[in-house]
A and B are shown apart, each in its own frame.
Chain A
Amino acid sequence: MLRAVFLYALAALLVLLAGCTDAGPAGREAAGNAPIGGPSGTELAERQVLHRGNGAEPQSLDPHKSEGVPESNLQRDLYEGLTIDDPELGVVPGAAESWEISPDGTVYTFRMRANGRWSNGDPVTAHDFAYGLRRSVDPATLSNYSIMLRPILNAEKVIAGELPPEALGVRAIDDLTLEVTLEAPTPYFLGVLNHSASYPVHRGTVEKYGDRWARPDRLVSNGAYRLKDWVMQSHIVLERNPYYWDNENTTIEEVWFYPIENQSIELQRYRADALDMTYELPFRQLAWLRENLADDIRISEYLGIYYFGLNVTRPPFQDNVALRRALNLAIDRELLTRQVTNAGEIPAYGYVPAAAYYEQVVPEWADWTQEERLAEARRLYEEAGYSPDEPLTVQILYNTHENHRTIAVAIASMWQDALGIETELVNQEWKVYLETRRTKQDTQVFRAGWIGDYNDAYNFLEILHSESGLNDPGWNNPRYDALLEAASREIDLERRAQLMHQAEQLVLEELPVIPVYFYVTKRLVKPWVGNYRPHVLDHVQTKDLKILKH
């Protein structure tokens, strides 16, 4: 009897397992050796469904209440700003079909598309955008990214609660004409208009459901896709918005976003064909990937900088530029990017990545050999008052992560070898690390990174403005502040670029931050995902992609 029960249990398990062999993991196995996209290479698959890894669970699908990259990826498919940032063409018309800018660069007049529609069929009007922008800066919305709209007239005062949202420099002249007045000419302003803080929201829906409108069966959006399903911690499904103005040029019918935080787990799902695109690559498995999935690896430039911040409000870095320079020169960035990060990251000699309309600063020492750099580093180290007998002891703070640890260890050993510096590595969990960094009490050297919100050098430079809430090195240079303020008011693009260039030079002379490398985006993309175009801000919109026959 017992044996019978045992056998029954085993049999049940086997049946359970066997019952699952009817199809591949997602029912999408590659069919034999047929070339992808058929003989022409462009033939489309019958099922146009895309499965994307998307990092973390989004905080919200309300564009005014979220800030992370996973949220942006989803919202870029759901909503459409006045402009779109195209990988090849730069800023192109989105919900607005055209615009005019006043000669002094402070008044933008947008012409809306007459055929713009919300996902419920309602027309998208200038009033919707005016409502959206006001809602975004309204303190009652509790938006954590409204500061992006700071260039708009009175935005800062509205955010601070000093003026009502109606005072924002935004006006719908008629259904199809929107006028936006700025505080000062802001050359990157069109780029801000494809950020989620500037997306429109459907007034009727928001007013009907209050805080709980961004859910399936409620959410109304104006982008190429609309929300179909949302299972927290599992997946979000978007389906094509049939009312979208460019629906006929959209190919993919449905896109599934999966919140998978662990890169190894994501890789396994990708290998089992449950994902067509990953969010990231596991850093440690890069060599294996190069050997086994070389064709699927997509690495491209990303507008971001990985750097080490130095707390210049306290010793040893306070008023000790020589020491900061010595530390900067003792890092062998070529070796680091080749041997440690190893995914094509670009050694950073300057601070600002390759942003639009901007010529990066290349310091003189970038052309030196590593020996020359080390000789100068040693000289500066001694000038700063240290020697191998009386070495500097310094702490490097980083947020707990395998990659950051590896990089910190590598840099610590470079400093040790070149100058005899003794380092102590301190890792803290993310929120603790942020607080430690911000208080500027205990930090000496801290790892940091910054990814551009829009494609402009100012984005990176403003962090180091003395009044910036992000200035964790605590650097305060009035000349730098003045240069940035001049740049923010300059209409002439070339002159503006020069002002920013001078500002970056100041950063590199005084080094409140030590640039390490410029980021790259790295992910796996199945060969049957057609028209995948890398973008410097990683704006990959599903509406541009297609699934080829495979």
Chain B
Amino acid sequence: MIRYALSRFLGAIPTLLILVALAFFMIRAAPGGPFDSEKALPPEIEANLRAAYHLDEPLVQQFGRYLLNLARGDFGPSFQYKDYSVTELIAAGFPVSLRLGGSAMILALLLGVTAGTMAALRQNSRTDHAVMAVSMTGISIPNFVMAPLLILLFAVTLGWLPAGGIGDGSPRYLVLPVISLALPQIAYISRLTRGSMIEVLRSNFIRTARAQGLPERTIILRHALKPALLPVVSYLGPASAAVITGSVVIEQIFGVPGLGRYFVQGALNRDYTLVMGVVVFYGALIILFNLLVDLVYAWLDPKVKYA
């Protein structure tokens, strides 16, 4: 298993390199530069700025320099936020994003799997229809619509929760962003669980278990749930990616100082190093998630072998 993990890990390096190259040349191809502003800079100052950030060198040389620095774990200075380096910005933003995304994923798994299982056990009952109707709504309403509605209800009208920001860092500031981020995932996961649970419950080994007279609870928890969760586990990789990218919108709406906002703002400001840093970091993260999912998958399903 360790050998498998290691080979997958090494295999990820070329993928990451291609990603770095694509991102590097694409952001440079965008018109406008990091130092363009409505107030034009005197040419001498612009030249100084370009030299200070090595933008006056040929592009290939800049790329080489970037790769060398990257190998040393240095993402470079931010062009826009001059008091910080990109590494510092990521180090400050990522724990916040992780806390937000992680809480949302846990909530989504907890509620999604439970609701999906309940719906499957009572197929075509009122519970089933209710769960499926709610999850359909969750999938259909995008979170940039849902989030302001939640703020309007819980913060502006009822005054129960903060409208945004992180304030003193207390968990209540995270409640609304976590719910907004989790809702579509709860919906997906409950539908997935329901579908696969129904299928598993019809299989021979469950029939055998029932024939042996095992209690229903044991059948569901010990025998049915594990195989029924396989599709959910394979969904976790893309779901984590969705939660991360989805958090761009949620972080903006709730003013949560995570990594997502740097993605958008970095691109708009042509903050080359910041955009690159976030892309590389996210890229590595998604590769890592997919690897973890594969490992968990193999653990859950004995049929899967490490090749």
A and B associate: yes
Chain B residue numbers with a CB within 8 Å of A16 are: 171-172, 175
Shortest Cβ distance from A215 into B: residue: B83
B84 within 8 A of A: yes
A87 within 8 A of B: no
Residue picked from A19, A160, A233, most chain B C-beta under 10 Å: A233
A89 within 8 A of B: no
CB distance from B109 to the nearest CB of A (A): 10
Cross-chain contact B114 with A2 (CB below 8 angstroms) = yes
Stretch at the interface among B9-17, B135-143, B156-164: B156-164
Cross-chain contact B255 with A234 (CB below 8 angstroms) = yes
What 0/1 readout, one digit per residue, does chain A (42-62) give for beta carbons within 8 Å of chain B?
000000000000000101111
What 0/1 readout, one digit per residue, does chain B (145-158) give for beta carbons within 8 Å of chain A?
00010011011100
Cross-chain contact B257 with A231 (CB below 8 angstroms) = yes
Question: Given A57-B265, A272-B151 in contact, is the A231-B253 Cβ separation under 8 Å?
Answer: no
Chain B residue numbers with a CB within 8 Å of A146 are: 45
Total count of chain B residues near the partner, CB < 8 A: 68
User: Which listed residue, B89, B160, B164, B171, touches A274 by the CB 8 Å rule?
Assistant: B164
**Cα distance A264–B149 in the bound complex, in angstroms:** 12
A164 within 8 A of B: no
CB distance from B36 to the nearest CB of A (A): 5
Shortest Cβ distance from A469 into B: residue: B40
**Cα distance A41–B159 in the bound complex, in angstroms:** 27
Chain B residue numbers with a CB within 8 Å of A365 are: none
A406 within 8 A of B: no
Chain B residue numbers with a CB within 8 Å of A265 are: 148, 164, 252-253, 255
Question: Given A16-B175, A431-B268, A434-B37 in contact, is the A268-B163 Cβ separation under 8 Å?
Answer: yes
Question: Given A19-B172, A139-B45, A265-B253 in contact, is the A59-B80 Cβ separation under 8 Å?
Answer: yes
Main secondary structure of the interface of A (DSSP, over half): loop
CB distance from B219 to the nearest CB of A (A): 11
Stretch at the interface among B27-35, B58-66, B206-214, B290-298: B27-35
Chain B residue numbers with a CB within 8 Å of A143 are: 45
Cross-chain contact B255 with A260 (CB below 8 angstroms) = yes
CB distance from A175 to the nearest CB of B (A): 30
Shortest Cβ distance from A470 into B: residue: B40
Residue picked from B148, B151, B255, most chain A C-beta under 10 Å: B255
Within 1-31 of A, Cβ neighbours of B (below 8 Å) are at: 1-3, 5-6, 9, 13, 16-17, 19-21, 24-26, 29
A144 within 8 A of B: yes
Question: Given A2-B121, A24-B159, A265-B255 in contact, is the A65-B82 Cβ separation under 8 Å?
Answer: yes
Chain B residue numbers with a CB within 8 Å of A338 are: none
CB distance from B232 to the nearest CB of A (A): 15
Cross-chain contact B162 with A62 (CB below 8 angstroms) = no
A212 within 8 A of B: yes
Cross-chain contact B162 with A6 (CB below 8 angstroms) = no
What 0/1 readout, one digit per residue, does chain A (256-281) give for beta carbons within 8 Å of chain B?
00111110110011011110000000
Within 259-309 of A, Cβ neighbours of B (below 8 Å) are at: 259-262, 264-265, 268-269, 271-274
Question: Given A142-B49, A258-B255, A272-B151 in contact, is the A147-B163 Cβ separation under 8 Å?
Answer: no
Cross-chain contact A2 with B220 (CB below 8 angstroms) = yes
Shortest Cβ distance from A428 into B: residue: B31
B304 within 8 A of A: no
B117 within 8 A of A: yes
Cross-chain contact B40 with A25 (CB below 8 angstroms) = no
Cross-chain contact B89 with A160 (CB below 8 angstroms) = no
What 0/1 readout, one digit per residue, does chain A (217-250) give for beta carbons within 8 Å of chain B?
0000000000000011111000000000000000
A388 within 8 A of B: no
Question: Given A264-B148, A469-B40, A470-B39 in contact, is the A434-B156 Cβ separation under 8 Å?
Answer: no
Cross-chain contact B84 with A17 (CB below 8 angstroms) = no
Within 168-197 of B, Cβ neighbours of A (below 8 Å) are at: 171-172, 175
Within 76-124 of B, Cβ neighbours of A (below 8 Å) are at: 77, 80-84, 89, 92-93, 107, 110-111, 114-115, 117-118, 121
CB distance from B38 to the nearest CB of A (A): 7
Shortest Cβ distance from B216 into A: residue: A1
Cross-chain contact A268 with B36 (CB below 8 angstroms) = no
A145 within 8 A of B: yes
Shortest Cβ distance from A451 into B: residue: B38
Shortest Cβ distance from B85 into A: residue: A212
Cross-chain contact B175 with A161 (CB below 8 angstroms) = no
Chain A residue numbers with a CB within 8 Å of B39 are: 67, 144-145, 470
**Cα distance A268–B172 in the bound complex, in angstroms:** 17
Cross-chain contact A432 with B82 (CB below 8 angstroms) = no
A357 within 8 A of B: no
**Cα distance A143–B117 in the bound complex, in angstroms:** 61
Residue picked from B92, B148, B165, B261, most chain A C-beta under 10 Å: B165
CB distance from B258 to the nearest CB of A (A): 8
Cross-chain contact B114 with A272 (CB below 8 angstroms) = no
Chain B residue numbers with a CB within 8 Å of A429 are: 32, 268
Cross-chain contact A232 with B40 (CB below 8 angstroms) = no
Cross-chain contact B114 with A233 (CB below 8 angstroms) = no
What 0/1 readout, one digit per residue, does chain B (221-255) give for beta carbons within 8 Å of chain A?
10000000000000000000000000000011101
A211 within 8 A of B: yes
Question: Given A431-B32, A435-B31 in contact, is the A272-B159 Cβ separation under 8 Å?
Answer: yes
B166 within 8 A of A: yes
**Cα distance A304–B137 in the bound complex, in angstroms:** 47
B256 within 8 A of A: yes
Cross-chain contact B93 with A26 (CB below 8 angstroms) = no
Chain A residue numbers with a CB within 8 Å of B35 are: 144
Chain A residue numbers with a CB within 8 Å of B268 are: 429-431
Cross-chain contact A3 with B270 (CB below 8 angstroms) = no
Cross-chain contact B164 with A268 (CB below 8 angstroms) = yes
Residue picked from B38, B80, B115, most chain A C-beta under 10 Å: B38
Chain A residue numbers with a CB within 8 Å of B172 are: 16, 19-20
CB distance from B43 to the nearest CB of A (A): 8
**Cα distance A469–B155 in the bound complex, in angstroms:** 47
Cross-chain contact B164 with A2 (CB below 8 angstroms) = no
What 0/1 readout, one digit per residue, does chain A (416-437) give for beta carbons within 8 Å of chain B?
0000000000000111101110
B307 within 8 A of A: no
Residue picked from A29, A61, A67, A234, most chain B C-beta under 10 Å: A234
Chain B residue numbers with a CB within 8 Å of A327 are: none
User: Which listed residue, B159, B255, B262, touches A25 by the CB 8 Å rule?
Assistant: B159
**Cα distance A61–B111 in the bound complex, in angstroms:** 44
A380 within 8 A of B: no
Cross-chain contact B36 with A59 (CB below 8 angstroms) = no
**Cα distance A6–B117 in the bound complex, in angstroms:** 10
Cross-chain contact B32 with A435 (CB below 8 angstroms) = yes
A214 within 8 A of B: yes
User: Which listed residue, A160, A274, A432, touches B31 by the CB 8 Å rule?
Assistant: A432
**Cα distance A56–B92 in the bound complex, in angstroms:** 18
Cross-chain contact B155 with A272 (CB below 8 angstroms) = yes
**Cα distance A231–B256 in the bound complex, in angstroms:** 10
Q: Known pairs A1-B221, A268-B148; list 15 more (Cβ under 8 Å).
A: A26-B162, A60-B81, A145-B39, A146-B45, A231-B257, A232-B81, A232-B92, A235-B165, A262-B253, A265-B148, A265-B255, A268-B156, A431-B268, A432-B31, A432-B32
Between A and B, 6 residue pairs with Cβ closer than 8 Å are: A144-B45, A269-B163, A269-B165, A272-B162, A431-B270, A470-B40
Which A residues are within 8 Å of any B CB, using their own CB? Answer: 1-3, 5-6, 9, 13, 16-17, 19-21, 24-26, 29, 57, 59-62, 65-67, 139-140, 142-147, 159-161, 211-212, 214-215, 231-235, 258-262, 264-265, 268-269, 271-274, 429-432, 434-436, 438, 469-470
* A-B CB proximity, top 3 nearest: A431-B32, A469-B40, A272-B163
